[in-house]
Structure 1
């Protein structure tokens, strides 16, 4: 991790031939232009309506440098990550004559960066993309690492591609106006990084939960940089998820099941928080993890206001959640695979756990169904 003037940090992903995540960027339009480099004649700026001001600033900055800029507003949240939206954006690129030397810029939360990356990955088999995440969740996870994707009725992110960006710009000032519930939800991914690789993250959160949820605090800035550094190290070692990168899915198998049965109306971070506790309980039941570390999952998550139990909607049963988990990307054939811990900072695989263990872990996080 390198520090630049003004406290900006540059975290390298992918080694010498990789890209930078710029944390604390103060001139986003100039940074986007620098990352795109010379020779880019056309840029499509894909953004959510809520961040139109920032997207316009980026577009104006590029236009002032002689770039032909097209902007497209996409739906909020997971509604952006559909085949219909992707087809629409491909049409925009085609009508505007985008070539392999042109680029896409994603400005928004994780759904927007996933979508923008996927469109860039698939247009002419790959054009450059620069990501400008505007939520904590996108900053520490979705925008970093080159995973792109859209959803289908059968599950989340089942269609996608690995497509590393040309760069990622993290302007921490945008967190000042982020709704508190969204900020807290983003901390689930930060805390996940602490459990799988960087215990200092957990110590910082437990020492001062108020600072961890304060968008202006140096503690949150440190947590953001540490979580990005965790992801950068993992992705650099394993771009295409042959194994090591799977540890970044800790808690996600159950979380994605929650999201699907909820119609993606639950925040990803809230689902991940419950998923972390589920994975910890599963590891305990399988004889992998001690009681104290399982309890610490609940303590750290609850300290910042994240959920640790799940109440399914009326009509949703355990079997429905299990069926979704069986379609998880980590599943091989009929065998479910989970990322679990044997200790803090020691992730490992749990393959083909008995269905009784899966159900008992669910019972440990389940609350009564909602009416």
Structure 2
């Protein structure tokens, strides 16, 4: 078993990674939680595959499990679904000594995580991510949230889990597109850190290679993110580098209205921001081509017609990370050399240059 330790000032936990580990869920959870009532929350895609298996494992060691399910998709990251789940848990008598287990992809982790963060002002949480995107990104770090209208993750809280359980076997049931979009975040983290993870990413030539190297890709990606989170839990400084590709990516994702996956939008965002900064001489020549090579190898999108839409700048300007009238753009000096450039919000359009984005 591969274990990544996340040690924070007020809360520490392990990320445990092993093929087939889902069958040991009950034993693993009982190592960090005393017997209690568990809200096992999953979506309509994942629940038929794994919810009963996990519930049986938990009940075998004495936990009382209530299975909850919501419709799959980003649209469920809403105040309406949050209220529905909270109402159901209250009706089933959940109290502050009980816990939530989030079983599923990024939407489940964000939504169920925020249920745990807000129910009775916060109850215990365990994450069991089943998608590659959730395994290497959203399940670690404590970010939980729901969307409001077209603004992603605008209502949320930092709520660290007590344990993260990752079984690479769950990737076998993903559609290829879902697998590949998660790899976009791995490429992002490899470009930020260089070293062993970038070396491994350079060997990936197909979606099949992702599956074959899933354990090591997850371990190295999560270790990098854990190191960043441990240095900056609440995103006051260093943790902002994890937003590489996200400022433009989130704008394009919002305009796509569900037609682009998060990892696909981040791929487009990384290429766009790197091309812009490379032309300005702030990113080393050739970095964009290196990113394109790694993203294109598995079929991730490199650009989008939505970059032609003037509304993309309104989305960028109103990004939730806008602070005091400035937006921090994350870019690379070189592979393994992230940097932050603060730009006044009213200068974003001129700085990014729509002609560059339209390529």
Pair 1:328 & 2:319 matched: yes
Structure-2 separation of matches of 1:337 and 1:32: 43
Count of residue correspondences? 354
Structure-2 separation of matches of 1:92 and 1:356: 46
Q: Residues 213 and 322 from structure 1, CA distance in 2 versus in 1: closer, same or farther, beyond 3 angstroms?
A: farther
Q: Report the 3-state secondary structure (helix = DSSP H, G, I; strand = E; otherwise coil) of the residue aligned with 1:209.
A: coil
Matches within 5 A, 1:23-62: 23-24=17-18, 26-28=20-22, 30-35=24-29, 37-52=32-47, 53-62=49-58
Structure-1 separation of matches of 2:338 and 2:132: 24
Structure-1 separation of matches of 2:332 and 2:211: 32
Structure-2 separation of matches of 1:182 and 1:278: 22
Query: What stretches of structure 1 of length at least 5 have no aligned partner?
Result: 1-7
Structure-2 separation of matches of 1:25 and 1:235: 25
Displacement of 1:88 in angstroms is 0.6
Displacement of 1:70 in angstroms is 1.1
Q: Report the 3-state secondary structure (helix = DSSP H, G, I; strand = E; otherwise coil) of the residue aligned with 2:126.
A: strand
Residues 116 and 125, structure 2, Cα contact 8 Å, conserved in 1: yes
Residues 168 and 214, structure 2, Cα contact 8 Å, conserved in 1: no
Q: Residues 245 and 297 from structure 1, CA distance in 2 versus in 1: closer, same or farther, beyond 3 angstroms?
A: same
Structure-2 separation of matches of 1:149 and 1:138: 14
RMSD: 2.0
Residues 245 and 273, structure 2, Cα contact 8 Å, conserved in 1: yes
Displacement of 1:343 in angstroms is 1.6
Q: Residues 18 and 321 from structure 1, CA distance in 2 versus in 1: closer, same or farther, beyond 3 angstroms?
A: same
Residues 22 and 167, structure 2, Cα contact 8 Å, conserved in 1: yes
Matches within 5 A, 1:163-202: 163-202=159-198
Matches within 5 A, 1:300-319: 300-312=294-306, 318-319=309-310
Displacement of 1:199 in angstroms is 3.8
2:224 alignment counterpart: 230
1:350 alignment counterpart: 341
Displacement of 1:289 in angstroms is 0.5
Displacement of 1:241 in angstroms is 0.5
Residues 172 and 221, structure 1, Cα contact 8 Å, conserved in 2: yes
2:136 alignment counterpart: 140
Matches within 5 A, 1:7-18: 8-15=1-8, 17-18=11-12
Structure-2 separation of matches of 1:132 and 1:32: 12
Structure-2 separation of matches of 1:330 and 1:287: 25
2:233 alignment counterpart: 239
Structure-2 separation of matches of 1:307 and 1:200: 25
Q: Report the 3-state secondary structure (helix = DSSP H, G, I; strand = E; otherwise coil) of the residue aligned with 1:58.
A: helix
Worse-matched range after superposition: 49-58 or 167-176: 49-58
Structure-2 separation of matches of 1:32 and 1:113: 19
| CA deviation string 1:252-274 (max 9, x = no partner) | 11111111111233111110100
Structure-2 separation of matches of 1:40 and 1:46: 18
Displacement of 1:242 in angstroms is 0.7
Residues 183 and 213, structure 1, Cα contact 8 Å, conserved in 2: no
TM-score normalized by structure 2?
A: 0.92
Runs (4+) off by over 6 Å: none
1:278 alignment counterpart: 272
Residues 25 and 57, structure 2, Cα contact 8 Å, conserved in 1: no
